[in-house]
Amino acid sequence: MKPRAVAMAFVLAALVFIIAVTVPVMAQTRPSLVTDQALYTLRDKQVLLQGDGYAQKKQYVVWLQTPLDNSTREIGLSFAATDKGQIPTPLSLPIEPTSPLGTYLVSISNSSKSDAAITRAHYGIWGTDKFVYQRTELIQAKGGGILPKAALKVTVRDPTGNEAYKTTVAANETGAFLATWRIPPNAPTEEYTVFIDGTGSYDLPSAEFVSKSKFSATPAFLNVTVYAMPDPSYERMQTASAEFAIRYPDSSPVISIKDNIKPVALYAGQFKVADLGLAAAGNATGIWNAQLKIPKNATLNVEYRFGLSAKAFDDGNGNVGPQTDVETGTFSVTPATLQVDITSNSTHYQVPFDSLAAYARVSYPDGTAVANATVRAWLNAGNSKVNVTVSQDKTRSAWAVSYSLSWGDLLRLGGWRLIVEARDIYGNAGSESLEVFAEPYSLLEMIILAAIVLLVARWLLSRFWRRIYLETKRAISAIRGRVRPPSFGRYFTSSPVTP
């Protein structure tokens, strides 16, 4: 063989060797895997997988680790690499409305039995924990796919585009984050937008990201419960009351009410008898009081109750409640016990010289004076009953009670009881009594005094009778002498006229 031919053969052999060595090395290039986005929301439908460097036509299996898993698991998704060693399109992972929020790990294996982890990639799903909130509920904006320990901004904008909330949070070691915001009770309703932005996705530390999600806010349905039941029974003209605890969905107290509304009704049996307003029972406690003074002519023998109708309460911001009617237990109404107040000129009277005089004022349990009462009174004296005179004194708004003691009352000496009974035209009644005493002491004093005078007179007469008699006789004679007229002869004997 010629030297030139030998050289050519040697070159060809070298080329064959180089090609034989180089091609297997190129075939061993590490496969790649990326997702079309670093961050997704629940409003997205799927995660697209892309990559190359795979063995042509070879079968591969997709393994997945969700935020709820401790390791990857085979999910029943596989693919055969294309002629160019790429992942065929479209190859995607579905995003369900119930997909957990957080960091996901996708792994490619050449086996369905174990995860060989030929290549891996991360992505995050984030958003709010609900799509629709009531006012005062707590929003949780959370998810994953962020560079571990990196900071990100979370911004909430209301339906008008104004910034409602802004904060900065840090991702944890798994790339997950959490930001919370409580919707105010007067916040605008309809659709809100949540933005997150920062630098550093889980697989690309230098990548900048901006993503947004949405949720809607609605007026709150207020939670209403009975806090304090009414008493089992009330008298007419007493004030019946019940208390309601009213809370927002987050259990915070409702401390405002729309002007001029009367959300509570009072029922007598099946009939509504009054519409009532509510007053705050304390300082920012969320306890509201409904009350009504029961009329003096209220129907008896019927069950009463308070009721707060569905959506009847409004906090003034459009948050209403309750969702269904809330009613208290029942109570009954009884006739009012009229209050009778007796005042008298004395409690001790002398028979038979004194006169009993008293005034009786009649009022309802709430202190309102009774103007149309029928009042009668009597004295219980021992075993006897003595009627007294009763007349209305309109100037005093009272009834005058009078009785003149007589000689016959000497037979009823001792403690007497003055009883005054009142009744109005509606059947409300009441009574009161006052203890008085009938005493003969003044009469006894007069009798004793008279006896003393007689005894003294008798003693004087028995001791000085003769002297008194003579002195009296001389005194009478002297008096007669002075008052006797002179005789006519006296005038003639001394007359200067001669016949």
For the chain, give every domain's residue range.
Answer: 28-213, 223-334, 339-439, 445-476
Query: What b/e readout covers 186-204, taking b as 16+ CB neighbours within 10 angstroms?
Result: ebebeebebbbebebbbbe
State residue 24's pLDDT score: 44
- pLDDT band for position 472 (50/70/90)? confident
d(C-alpha 105, C-alpha 7), whole Å: 56
Q: Is the pLDDT of residue 162 over 60?
A: yes
- pLDDT band for position 6 (50/70/90)? very low
Mean pLDDT confidence for 119-135: 96
The pTM assigned to this predicted structure is: 0.72
- The first and second tokens of residue 359, run together, are 């005034």
d(C-alpha 248, C-alpha 222), whole Å: 5
Strand-by-strand arrangement of the 46-50 sheet: 34-35, 46-50, 92-94
Task: Please report, for residues 351, 407, 440, 448, the alpha-carbon distance to residue 411 in angstroms, rounded to integers and kept in the order given.
Answer: 10, 8, 10, 20
d(C-alpha 14, C-alpha 238), whole Å: 117
- pLDDT band for position 456 (50/70/90)? confident
Same fold, 28-213 and 339-439: yes
Angle at 345 between CA 339 and CA 348, to 5 degrees: 105
Q: Within its chain, how far is the Cα of 494 from the centroid?
A: 125
Q: What is the dihedral of CA 401, 407, 411, 414, to 10 degrees?
A: 50
Which residues, other chains included, contact 213 with Cβ-Cβ below 8 Å and sequence gap of 6+?
41, 42, 43, 126, 127, 128, 141, 193, 194
Q: List, as one string, the DSSP characters of 422-452.
A: EE-TTS-EEEEEEEEEEE-HHHHHHHHHHHH
Higher pLDDT, 439 or 11: 439
State residue 439's pLDDT score: 84
Task: Please report, for residues 164, 231, 284, 439, the alpha-carbon distance to residue 240 in angstroms, rounded to integers and kept in the order given.
Answer: 45, 8, 23, 48
| CATH code for residues 223-334 | 2.60.40.2300
CATH class for the region spanning 339-439: mainly beta
- pLDDT band for position 408 (50/70/90)? confident
- The first and second tokens of residue 2, run together, are 């010629």
Residue 211: CA count within 13 A, CB half-sphere: 28
Give 28-213's CATH code, choosing from 3.40.50.300, 3.40.190.10, 3.40.50.1820, 2.60.40.1930: 2.60.40.1930
Which residues, other chains included, contact 463 with Cβ-Cβ below 8 Å and sequence gap of 6+?
none
d(C-alpha 429, C-alpha 37), whole Å: 85
pLDDT tens-digit series, residues 346-389: 888 888 888 899 999 999 999 999 988 899 999 998 788 888 99
Angle at 330 between CA 327 and CA 335, to 5 degrees: 140
